[in-house]
Every structure is written in structure tokens, then in C-alpha cells.
Amino acid sequence: MEDEGKWLWKTKGFFDCFNLCYQLTLAARETLTEESLTQALTHLFRKVPPLRMRYGRRDGDTWLREMAKEIVDFEVVPETTMRDMHDKLQHRHYDTWTGPLWCARLWPRPQSSLPDDELGFDRSRYPHAYTLFFGFHHGITDGNTNMRICGFFVQLLNDVLAGKSIQDEEQLGILVSDERTKKLLEERIANMEADPEAKQRALDDYNARHTKHSMIESTFKGTGDKEGRSLVLARDVDVATTSQFVKRCRTENVTVNSAFTALANVALVDLLVEGGLQQDTYSIRGDHILNARRYWEGDASQYLGCHIVPQLAVIVPTPRDIGGKFWEYARLVHADLKQKIEAGTALQDEAVRHFMSEKTVMETIFSCEFGVTNMGDVTKLVTEGGEHVQAVHVLRSVNLDGVPATCSNLCHTFRGRFTHVLSYNTASVTSEMAEKFCDRLFNQLSSVI
């Protein structure tokens, strides 16, 4: 007899090669027990639909379906490191046919592990520090869903510690398929099929932005590891500097995302020049991961799952010497990004791939210099915490060694701090290159605010 578990919908599983790791730092009034954590995580399992998902085979197709039984994969890891946990969770093998497709690990920390600048709460009232690592299979969640899950967990843990009654029937969000995005893609594909000239323009535009080589890989050929590993380099910008940066972006009429992209382009040019690539300008291709919900009709804020558009390629010529014209350059980046986001160019690119061979798609989609995924201010999603537990810090990483990618910049702001994580593939980017890139990026940031 077939085991229980509702069948939901077919899935292609494009994101099966990616695992995500979220690192949530907590400050607690009392010592957190394994029992209280397990209780909060069990409620999380019951109240968040994606966390009850697994895969199944049906009539020769892969489907998403509900788990047959309740399983919470949680451990306390007293002796570990940040790098070790990201490495383990990025490469975790989930039992896709049984579930769960996520896990949690608690690392007790000294209070000195908390950020040095202002926290927004009385540190003496919360003397116990912990880091909770969430591992997620990218097939069931995206950044928006994961940040919300972190926030759900903080609220649930506060309620557990306060002894409140928690009703598991009340679900936090709605799990939906990618049907809305598929419909938008099908409309664009149909329009191109009906208008060959429009189709050719879309193909030409795609090919112009999807060169089949990377300047990083050609300039630093042979410097990477034979067997690449996905490593993480994380940096925070303090509250005061973050505030200055955001204010300057507003003054210059660019978004923080556009300004960061411009900083990353300038930093990469410095690295390429040092590597021996001498040009007057550099066509830096950065690929931006967008939240597909922005293109859906109506209020999509409660929709959970993996809903991203991979990925928007943006190329802006970057001069070798930016001089004192950084913000002028940043406005060019902003104008190009804004135009493409508003025009739905990422959807157009995904539709264009319908007319290309799978081999060509794979060759072009990972040929960017770097990726950018900037979630903006996530404080409301993660929450600041409550009476018993405060959420102090959050960061995220993704494994890249399962694909021919170089590196990805994962950014967001939480409790007034801008956080940047560089996930990089050592097959293309060495740790020394990663350090130099980030040094130049943040030195440039300091100099332009």
C-alpha cells in the first residue's frame, strides 16, 4: 500500500543542485534547552507548509508532495565553526523521497560573538548567545521564504519560552506552485512565436548580454582548485556606516542594490588589472536573481516556496579608473538595472531559453563574472525578537561547486547593518582573490560616502 502524503504538483527541479544555509544569531534571557528548541522547531514544521515537503515519482514525473510522517532534523553542535557548518549544510544530502528537505543545528556561543556596535537592546538582559543554522534544499524555498521562516522561528521560540499556547492549525503563509510565473513565460513565448521579428530581437538582446566566457576565469586561468569547493566570506557594515551609505544612495537617486553592483564592478576591475588584464573599459556581466512575485498580480506577500527568476544579466562598461566619478557611474548602472527590471527582461530571457538547446542555455547562464542577490532590509521578515529571545544577526550562503559558477554576492540589511556574503567557488576564485575583491569593494564604499 502506498504511503500517505498529498501529491501537489509536477516540478522540474532546476534548483536541486543548490543547497542554502542560513545563520541566525540569537541572544536569550535564559539558557536555551534542547527541549525548548525542539518544541519550537516542531511547531515550525507543522505551521510552515514548505517544511513538510518532499519529492515523489508519479507516472514518470517528479512531483512535490507532503511528507508521510513528522520528522524534525535537529542537533546541538557544541564544537564547530561557521565555515564548517556552512560547508556541511551546503553539501548536505537530503532524503528527497522521504523528507525533510531542511535541518537545523544549534551552536552555543560566547556573548563576545555578538556584534560590537549598538544592538538595539540591553545586552545585559540577554546574556546567552547562540547561532542557529538552517539548511534548506533550494527546491522548496527561496530567500524571501527563508527569511520569513527565520522570523517565524524567533516568534515561536519566544512563545514556547513564555509558555504560550500555540495553535498549529494556523499556517504561516501559503505554499503555491510556480504556475503564475509559468503563465507569464507562456505568454511571452506565444508572443515570440507569433512575431518572428520580436523573437529575433529578444534572441539578439539575450546573446549580447550572455557572452560565453568569464574574464575572471580567463585572467586567472589555472589558479583555482582542480576540485572546486564552495567557501564563504562574510562581512558586516556597522550601523553608522550603513546609515551613511543608504542616505548617500538616496541623495544620488540610486538604490542600494544599484550602488552595491557598481561597487562590485569597480572592485572586480581592480582585481582584473592586478591579474594583468589591461583595458580602458571592462564589460562586467553581473547576474541578478529576482523575486518572481514582483511580476504576479495582486498581493503575493503570503506566498511561500521557491519563486525566483534566474537570472537577469546586466552589462555596464566599467572604466579602469573610476576617479571621482563613482556616483555618475552608479547612476548608469541604476538606469540599466531599473529599465530591465521594469521591462521584465529576466522573464524575457527565461522565455528566450525555450528556443535554445539545453547545452547552449547551460553554457550561457553560468558565464557571468558574479551573481547578485540583494534582499534589501529584512528586519520585518526576520523580526527583532521578543521578551525572551532577540534576533541579533542573520546571513545566508549558497553552494556553487555543483555548477560552473564563479561567485555570488548575497546582501541584505538587518537591524541597521548591511551584511555581505561572498559565496565563491574555489575552482575559479581563490581565497586570496575573494579577500582582495571584498577589501576593494568595502574600501571603495567607505571612500564614496
Asked if 309 contacts 292 with a C-beta cutoff of 8 angstroms, the reply is yes
Residues 154 and 211 in one domain: no
State the Cα–Cα distance between residues 264 and 322, nearest whole angstrom.
12
What cell was used for 346? 529576466
Establish if 387 belongs to a structural domain.
no
Establish if 389 belongs to a structural domain.
no
Asked if 147 contacts 106 with a C-beta cutoff of 8 angstroms, the reply is no
Residues 315 and 361 in one domain: yes
Establish if 191 belongs to a structural domain.
yes
Given 117, 140, 173, which residue is the final one in a domain? 173
State the Cα–Cα distance between residues 422 and 233, nearest whole angstrom.
5
Q: Distances from the Cα of 247 to the Cαs of 7, 250, 375, in angstroms? A: 49, 5, 18
Residues 139 and 226 in one domain: no
Structural domain that includes position 63: 7-173
The pLDDT, as a whole number, for residue 1 is 32
Residues 112 and 184 in one domain: no
Residues 119 and 215 in one domain: no
Establish if 385 belongs to a structural domain.
no
Residues 367 and 430 in one domain: yes
- What are the beta bridge partners of residue 370? 286
- The total number of structural domains that make up the chain: 2
Residues 46 and 92 in one domain: yes
Establish if 415 belongs to a structural domain.
yes
Residues 298 and 433 in one domain: yes
List the CATH number of the domain containing 25.
Answer: 3.30.559.10
Establish if 384 belongs to a structural domain.
no
Residues 260 and 211 in one domain: yes
List the CATH number of the domain containing 325.
Answer: 3.30.559.30
The pLDDT, as a whole number, for residue 14 is 53
- Comparing CA positions, the residue from 377, 434, 124 lying closest to residue 239 is 377
Given 126, 149, 173, which residue is the final one in a domain? 173
Tell whether the torsion through CA atoms of 207, 210, 216 and 222 is positive or negative.
Answer: negative
Given 145, 173, 201, which residue is the final one in a domain? 173
Residues 412 and 295 in one domain: yes
Residues 137 and 213 in one domain: no
What cell was used for 35? 527541549
Establish if 390 belongs to a structural domain.
no
Asked if 149 contacts 51 with a C-beta cutoff of 8 angstroms, the reply is yes
Per-residue pLDDT tens listing for the chain (449 residues): 346 789 999 887 655 568 999 999 999 999 999 999 999 999 999 999 999 999 999 988 999 999 999 999 999 999 899 999 999 999 999 999 999 999 999 999 877 777 777 778 888 899 999 999 999 999 999 999 999 999 999 999 999 999 999 999 889 899 999 999 999 999 999 999 999 999 999 999 999 999 778 899 999 988 888 889 999 999 999 999 999 999 999 999 999 999 999 999 999 999 999 999 999 999 999 999 999 999 999 999 999 999 999 889 999 999 999 989 999 999 999 999 999 999 999 999 999 999 999 888 888 888 899 999 999 999 999 999 999 999 999 999 999 988 888 999 999 999 999 999 999 999 999 999 999 999 999 999 999 99
Residue with cell 545585559: 124
Establish if 58 belongs to a structural domain.
yes
Residues 108 and 257 in one domain: no
